[in-house]
Structure 1
Amino acid sequence: MDKIGLIAGSSRFPINVAIAARKRGVSVYAVALKEETHPELEAAVDKICWISIGELGKAVDFLKENHIKRAVMAGKVRLSHIYSKSVKPDGYLKNLLTKAVDKRGDTLLMAVANFLDKIGVRLLDCALFLKDDIVKKGALTKIRPTKEQLADIEFAKPIVKAVAQLRIGQTIVVKDKAVLAVEAMEGTDEAIRRGSCIAGEGAVIVKMSSPKHDMRFDIPLIGPSTIKTMIQVNAKTLALEAGRTLLIDKEELIKLADAADICVVGI
């Protein structure tokens, strides 16, 4: 392919996608959200269209004008925006929200994917250009999980899978085989803070996706910010689903974890 659309949310994920795509000779045309996307993305793409959340029609015009037939969605968009009075949905978005069966994250993302398909834009796997950053099985850090931490991880796995399958969240916080927090709309880092308020030090965080998770969007992500949150609350173990979780700025993440004696392990 010679060019691709990039629908960009928050974090460095869309920036890393753009850099990796251009290294392969693929031109990148980005739709960036003023409320979410890092300004640094502008220097990493060939062309960019800044829109406010709610301006779906403006994004459609940009994609059509530049003859974009394939796109990736990268970066989180906070669902809480749909409840914000500052967001003014245009006709396209109002129609999409009205037809959505519920307001869960994957429901709305699937609605966007189907809408894009109708206008001739096919969504691709969001990790298409970042396969080397997918979590592999085993310890990723110098620190390995203890026997007690492994027991907590095994305890948590079926629970987090069930939560993910219910499309509530992808992360739970546990300690001593007790669930302290379940991620919902607030995101991973806030769930870690909540759970650690109860755990004190040494919480175990487990992140996994639903077996039916659509990897074209909302792939489970972990970046340096999550490690920084763990350092702040003295959480010590992060277990991630191998083959289905993407590390953002992997080298920085592992360096931070090693310096803080945090164990990061693929399961």
Structure 2
Amino acid sequence: MEHAPPDGRIGLIAGNGQLPLLFARAARARGLEVVAVAHKGETNPALASEVGSLTWVRVGQVNRIQKAFVAAGVKQAAMAGGIGRVKALSEARPDLGAVRIISRLRSFRDDALLRAVAADFESRGITIIAPTDFLGEVLCPEGHLAGPELSPTQAQDVALGREVAALLGQADVGQTVVVHQGHVLALEAVEGTDEAIRRGGKLGGAGAVVVKRCKPQQDLRFDLPAAGPRTLEVMKEVGARVLALEAGRTVLLDAPELFANARAAGITLVGVR
């Protein structure tokens, strides 16, 4: 269900990729003023032209984000776009707000950390909502979406990849699994989706199946799986032939281009409920 801020103002905590821009455009189309905070080295600078105001911070500067929102009178905000895990480890500049959150954690896994961040914002009067509350149209539909129909062997690889991805997500490690002819070639960890696909392709050769799905315990406010034309480019590099996404819970970036590119490359794209 879409949230409608009563004061006509929405906050945006922007990470990398296209999702922050899509969110800002969708919010503006609903007549909302977007107050954005962007992360240096991660967020696309083009976001500045899509929002009412933009504050730049470094990863970990929680107090700066909260101060920017409080000063602008923001009561609701969404987190859109990821933060590269390697860069987060090497370039984070945690302030006292981050230290306050970390000191309460028993686990440093992604889900626990993001829920703790949301709780801290809410304790300061800022409710964190799901970006898809404004972007339901970008969620992956169910069924065959582009490219050749799945072969029986590929369908079996999709099923295996989904089973392994559920276990991977349950451990809060990653969302992507690469499979080929019944063999699991790569699991996504700190390196991210693109590098997991490259590693799997190098190990298994052409024909790999790439599966992305939500963690079983996924909080839909944070870190939904996403795929776009960039994902297909990496798959083409290594000769991967199938991309299977979780329907209704995966964000499609530039969907028309994604579908067209999949058809042109002969890559099968499916949404699995």
Q: What's the TM-score once normalised by structure 1's chain length?
A: 0.96
The one of 42, 53, 60 aligned to 1:47: 53
2:111 matches 1:106 = yes
CA distance in 1: counterparts of 2:145 and 2:165, whole angstroms: 21
The one of 65, 68, 77 aligned to 1:62: 68
Matches within 5 A, 1:113-262: 113-262=118-267
Match of 1:73 in 2: 79
Equivalences, count: 266
CA distance in 2: counterparts of 1:58 and 1:156, whole angstroms: 40
CA distance in 2: counterparts of 1:228 and 1:56, whole angstroms: 34
CA distance in 2: counterparts of 1:215 and 1:30, whole angstroms: 20
Letter in 1 for 2:106: V
Deviates more, 1:126-135 or 1:92-101: 92-101
Aligned to 1:185, what secondary structure does the other structure show?
coil
Aligned to 1:108, what secondary structure does the other structure show?
helix
CA distance in 2: counterparts of 1:250 and 1:162, whole angstroms: 28
Report the aligned-residue RMSD: 1.2
Aligned to 1:73, what secondary structure does the other structure show?
strand
Match of 2:43 in 1: 37
Q: Tell me how far 1:82 sits from its aligned partner.
A: 4.2
CA distance in 2: counterparts of 1:82 and 1:187, whole angstroms: 12
Aligned to 1:11, what secondary structure does the other structure show?
coil
CA distance in 2: counterparts of 1:234 and 1:77, whole angstroms: 27
- Report Cα offsets for 1:205-244 as digits up to 9, x if no partner: 1111122210011111112111110011110100001111
Aligned to 1:92, what secondary structure does the other structure show?
helix
Letter in 1 for 2:151: T
| Percent of residue pairs identical | 39
Change (3 A) 1:35 1:66: same
Letter in 2 for 1:113: A
Q: Which runs of 5+ in 1 are unaligned?
A: none
Aligned to 1:99, what secondary structure does the other structure show?
coil
CA distance in 2: counterparts of 1:56 and 1:179, whole angstroms: 38
Aligned to 2:263, what secondary structure does the other structure show?
helix
Q: Tell me how far 1:193 sits from its aligned partner.
A: 0.6
Deviates more, 1:35-44 or 1:247-256: 247-256
Q: Tell me how far 1:257 sits from its aligned partner.
A: 1.3
The one of 15, 26, 47 aligned to 1:20: 26
Q: Which runs of 5+ in 2 are unaligned?
A: none
Letter in 1 for 2:10: I
Q: What's the TM-score once normalised by structure 2's chain length?
A: 0.94
Letter in 2 for 1:39: P
